[in-house]
Protein backbone atom coordinates (compact mmCIF):
# COMPACT_ATOMS: atom_id res chain seq x y z
CA UNK A 1 0.00 0.00 0.00
CA UNK A 2 1.07 3.62 -0.51
CA UNK A 3 2.78 5.20 2.48
CA UNK A 4 4.05 8.60 3.54
CA UNK A 5 6.82 8.79 6.11
CA UNK A 6 6.45 11.02 9.16
CA UNK A 7 8.12 14.41 8.81
CA UNK A 8 8.00 15.53 12.44
CA UNK A 9 7.83 14.18 15.96
CA UNK A 10 5.00 11.68 16.18
CA UNK A 11 2.21 12.47 18.58
CA UNK A 12 1.94 10.41 21.76
CA UNK A 13 -1.81 9.85 21.64
CA UNK A 14 -3.14 6.71 19.98
CA UNK A 15 -6.75 6.41 18.81
CA UNK A 16 -8.63 3.41 17.49
CA UNK A 17 -11.20 4.67 14.97
CA UNK A 18 -13.76 2.08 15.98
CA UNK A 19 -16.35 1.20 18.60
CA UNK A 20 -15.96 -2.54 17.93
CA UNK A 21 -15.36 -4.42 21.16
CA UNK A 22 -13.48 -7.06 19.19
CA UNK A 23 -10.96 -4.58 17.79
CA UNK A 24 -10.63 -2.88 21.17
CA UNK A 25 -9.83 -6.19 22.88
CA UNK A 26 -7.28 -7.05 20.19
CA UNK A 27 -5.48 -3.70 20.34
CA UNK A 28 -5.24 -4.03 24.12
CA UNK A 29 -2.85 -6.95 23.53
CA UNK A 30 -0.16 -4.46 22.44
CA UNK A 31 -0.39 -2.84 25.91
CA UNK A 32 -0.40 0.69 24.54
CA UNK A 33 -2.66 3.38 26.01
CA UNK A 34 -5.33 4.34 23.49
CA UNK A 35 -8.78 5.82 23.16
CA UNK A 36 -11.68 4.83 20.92
CA UNK A 37 -13.53 7.28 18.67
CA UNK A 38 -16.43 6.35 16.40
CA UNK A 39 -15.66 7.25 12.77
CA UNK A 40 -18.41 9.12 10.97
CA UNK A 41 -18.12 7.19 7.72
CA UNK A 42 -20.79 5.80 5.39
CA UNK A 43 -19.86 2.11 5.07
CA UNK A 44 -22.10 1.42 2.07
CA UNK A 45 -20.13 -0.30 -0.73
CA UNK A 46 -19.86 1.65 -3.97
CA UNK A 47 -21.49 0.26 -7.13
CA UNK A 48 -19.36 -2.54 -8.55
CA UNK A 49 -16.81 -2.30 -5.73
CA UNK A 50 -15.00 -5.57 -4.99
CA UNK A 51 -14.80 -6.77 -1.36
CA UNK A 52 -11.06 -6.07 -1.10
CA UNK A 53 -11.64 -2.53 -2.41
CA UNK A 54 -14.42 -1.97 0.15
CA UNK A 55 -12.20 -3.07 3.03
CA UNK A 56 -9.16 -1.00 2.04
CA UNK A 57 -11.18 2.11 1.20
CA UNK A 58 -13.15 2.05 4.44
CA UNK A 59 -10.14 1.32 6.66
CA UNK A 60 -8.41 4.44 5.34
CA UNK A 61 -11.60 6.51 5.36
CA UNK A 62 -12.21 5.68 9.04
CA UNK A 63 -8.65 6.55 10.01
CA UNK A 64 -8.68 9.81 8.04
CA UNK A 65 -12.04 10.96 9.35
CA UNK A 66 -10.99 10.58 12.98
CA UNK A 67 -7.46 11.88 12.31
CA UNK A 68 -8.86 15.13 10.91
CA UNK A 69 -10.66 15.67 14.21
CA UNK A 70 -7.54 14.68 16.20
CA UNK A 71 -4.63 15.85 14.01
CA UNK A 72 -1.94 15.32 16.67
CA UNK A 73 -2.87 11.67 17.28
CA UNK A 74 -1.89 8.44 15.58
CA UNK A 75 -5.15 6.90 14.37
CA UNK A 76 -5.84 3.28 13.47
CA UNK A 77 -8.70 2.44 11.11
CA UNK A 78 -9.75 -1.07 10.12
CA UNK A 79 -12.45 -2.77 8.10
CA UNK A 80 -13.32 -6.36 7.28
CA UNK A 81 -15.39 -7.80 4.46
CA UNK A 82 -16.17 -11.48 3.95
CA UNK A 83 -15.60 -12.34 0.29
CA UNK A 84 -17.49 -15.26 -1.28
CA UNK A 85 -16.65 -15.61 -4.96
CA UNK A 86 -16.09 -11.87 -5.27
CA UNK A 87 -19.31 -10.92 -3.49
CA UNK A 88 -19.33 -9.07 -0.17
CA UNK A 89 -20.89 -10.74 2.86
CA UNK A 90 -21.43 -8.21 5.62
CA UNK A 91 -22.76 -8.36 9.16
CA UNK A 92 -26.06 -10.24 9.14
CA UNK A 93 -27.85 -8.12 11.73
CA UNK A 94 -30.66 -10.66 12.10
CA UNK A 95 -31.07 -14.38 12.71
CA UNK A 96 -32.69 -14.92 9.32
CA UNK A 97 -29.82 -13.26 7.47
CA UNK A 98 -27.26 -15.21 9.52
CA UNK A 99 -28.94 -18.49 8.54
CA UNK A 100 -28.84 -17.44 4.89
CA UNK A 101 -25.15 -16.54 5.10
CA UNK A 102 -24.06 -19.77 6.77
CA UNK A 103 -26.09 -21.88 4.34
CA UNK A 104 -24.40 -20.09 1.43
CA UNK A 105 -20.93 -20.62 2.91
CA UNK A 106 -21.15 -24.27 4.00
CA UNK A 107 -18.66 -26.42 2.16
CA UNK A 108 -17.12 -23.29 0.62
CA UNK A 109 -13.98 -21.21 1.05
CA UNK A 110 -14.54 -17.61 2.11
CA UNK A 111 -11.80 -14.98 2.05
CA UNK A 112 -11.99 -12.50 4.91
CA UNK A 113 -10.44 -9.25 3.63
CA UNK A 114 -9.19 -7.34 6.67
CA UNK A 115 -7.59 -3.96 6.01
CA UNK A 116 -5.84 -1.65 8.47
CA UNK A 117 -4.69 1.95 8.02
CA UNK A 118 -2.59 4.17 10.29
CA UNK A 119 -2.69 7.94 9.86
CA UNK A 120 -1.20 10.93 11.67
CA UNK A 121 -2.07 14.32 10.18
CA UNK A 122 0.53 16.36 12.08
CA UNK A 123 3.46 14.14 11.04
CA UNK A 124 2.17 13.45 7.53
CA UNK A 125 2.20 9.69 8.05
CA UNK A 126 -0.27 7.51 6.18
CA UNK A 127 0.03 3.83 5.37
CA UNK A 128 -2.17 0.78 4.84
CA UNK A 129 -1.90 -3.01 4.90
CA UNK A 130 -4.19 -5.90 4.02
CA UNK A 131 -4.51 -9.36 5.55
CA UNK A 132 -6.39 -12.01 3.60
CA UNK A 133 -7.64 -15.00 5.57
CA UNK A 134 -8.92 -18.06 3.70
CA UNK A 135 -11.57 -19.91 5.71
CA UNK A 136 -13.00 -23.26 4.69
CA UNK A 137 -16.44 -23.94 6.15
CA UNK A 138 -17.63 -27.44 6.97
CA UNK A 139 -20.62 -29.03 5.25
CA UNK A 140 -23.00 -27.81 7.93
CA UNK A 141 -26.49 -29.17 8.45
CA UNK A 142 -29.40 -26.80 9.02
CA UNK A 143 -29.63 -28.11 12.59
CA UNK A 144 -25.95 -27.33 13.24
CA UNK A 145 -26.41 -23.81 11.90
CA UNK A 146 -29.47 -23.18 14.07
CA UNK A 147 -27.77 -24.59 17.17
CA UNK A 148 -24.67 -22.46 16.62
CA UNK A 149 -26.67 -19.27 16.14
CA UNK A 150 -28.76 -20.03 19.22
CA UNK A 151 -25.63 -20.28 21.36
CA UNK A 152 -23.47 -17.47 19.96
CA UNK A 153 -25.79 -15.01 18.18
CA UNK A 154 -22.96 -13.54 16.03
CA UNK A 155 -25.19 -11.01 14.31
CA UNK A 156 -22.58 -8.23 14.51
CA UNK A 157 -19.86 -10.31 12.83
CA UNK A 158 -19.13 -10.36 9.09
CA UNK A 159 -20.01 -13.80 7.82
CA UNK A 160 -21.99 -14.77 10.94
CA UNK A 161 -19.07 -16.64 12.53
CA UNK A 162 -16.94 -15.90 15.60
CA UNK A 163 -13.82 -18.02 15.27
CA UNK A 164 -12.66 -17.06 18.77
CA UNK A 165 -15.71 -18.83 20.20
CA UNK A 166 -17.92 -21.75 19.21
CA UNK A 167 -17.67 -20.58 15.60
CA UNK A 168 -14.35 -22.42 15.30
CA UNK A 169 -16.43 -25.64 15.11
CA UNK A 170 -18.00 -24.36 11.87
CA UNK A 171 -14.65 -24.48 10.13
CA UNK A 172 -12.42 -27.07 8.46
CA UNK A 173 -9.40 -24.86 7.94
CA UNK A 174 -8.00 -21.35 8.42
CA UNK A 175 -5.05 -20.09 6.36
CA UNK A 176 -3.52 -16.78 7.45
CA UNK A 177 -0.15 -15.16 8.10
CA UNK A 178 -1.70 -12.75 10.63
CA UNK A 179 -3.80 -14.83 13.06
CA UNK A 180 -5.91 -12.07 14.63
CA UNK A 181 -7.04 -10.73 11.24
CA UNK A 182 -10.04 -13.04 11.23
CA UNK A 183 -11.31 -11.49 14.48
CA UNK A 184 -11.14 -8.00 12.99
CA UNK A 185 -7.69 -6.42 13.40
CA UNK A 186 -4.46 -7.88 11.94
CA UNK A 187 -2.09 -7.21 14.84
CA UNK A 188 1.13 -8.19 13.05
CA UNK A 189 0.46 -5.63 10.35
CA UNK A 190 -0.88 -3.09 12.85
CA UNK A 191 2.26 -3.33 14.98
CA UNK A 192 4.43 -2.84 11.90
CA UNK A 193 2.47 0.24 10.80
CA UNK A 194 2.74 1.68 14.30
CA UNK A 195 6.52 1.14 14.20
CA UNK A 196 6.66 3.01 10.90
CA UNK A 197 4.62 5.82 12.44
CA UNK A 198 7.10 6.07 15.31
CA UNK A 199 5.24 4.14 18.02
CA UNK A 200 6.97 0.80 18.55
CA UNK A 201 4.96 -1.33 21.03
CA UNK A 202 8.19 -3.04 22.16
CA UNK A 203 9.89 0.27 22.97
CA UNK A 204 6.89 1.98 24.57
CA UNK A 205 6.37 1.80 28.35
CA UNK A 206 3.75 -0.97 28.63
CA UNK A 207 0.55 -0.60 30.56
CA UNK A 208 0.61 -2.36 33.96
Where exactly are the structural domains of the chain? 14-197
Q: What is the pLDDT of residue 91?
A: 87
Mean pLDDT along residues 62-67: 98
Q: Which of 5-14, 155-164, 173-182, 188-197 has the lowest mean pLDDT?
A: 5-14
Q: Is the pLDDT of residue 5 over 50?
A: no
pLDDT for 8 equals 42
The DSSP call for residue 4 is: B
**Cα separation of 60 and 127, whole Å?**
8
**Closest of 201, 197, 203 to residue 5, by C-alpha:** 197
Please give the pLDDT value at position 177. Answer: 96
Q: How far is CA 98 from the centre of its chain?
A: 19
34 - beta bridge partners?
none
Q: Does domain 14-197 have CATH number 3.90.950.10?
A: yes
**Tens-digit pLDDT profile for residues 15-57:** 999 999 999 999 999 999 999 999 999 999 899 999 999 999 9
* Residue with more model confidence, 152 or 206: 152
Residue 3 has pLDDT above 60, yes or no: no
Mean pLDDT score across all residues of the chain: 92
DSSP for residue 105: H
| pLDDT on residue 120 | 97
Q: What is the pLDDT of residue 162?
A: 87
Q: Element (H or E) spanning 130, and its range?
A: strand 125-137
Specify whether 79 is catalytic: yes
Given the residues 79, 85, 156, 175, select the one marked as catalytic: 79
Q: Which of 50, 22, 48, 53 minimizes the C-alpha distance to 36?
A: 22
User: Quick one: pLDDT at residue 207?
Assistant: 63
d(CA 120, CA 14): 10
pLDDT (0 to 100) of residue 206: 60
Distance of alpha carbon 152 from its chain centroid, rounded?
20
Q: Do you know the residue count of the chain?
A: 208
Confidence of residue 154 (pLDDT cuts 50, 70, 90): very high
Amino acid sequence: MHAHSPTSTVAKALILASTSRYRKELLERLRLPFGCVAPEVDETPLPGEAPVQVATRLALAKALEVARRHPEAIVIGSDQVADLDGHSIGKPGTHVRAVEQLRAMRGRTVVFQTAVAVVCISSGFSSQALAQVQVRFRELSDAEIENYLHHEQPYDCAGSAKSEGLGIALLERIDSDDPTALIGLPLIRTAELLRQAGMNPLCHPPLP
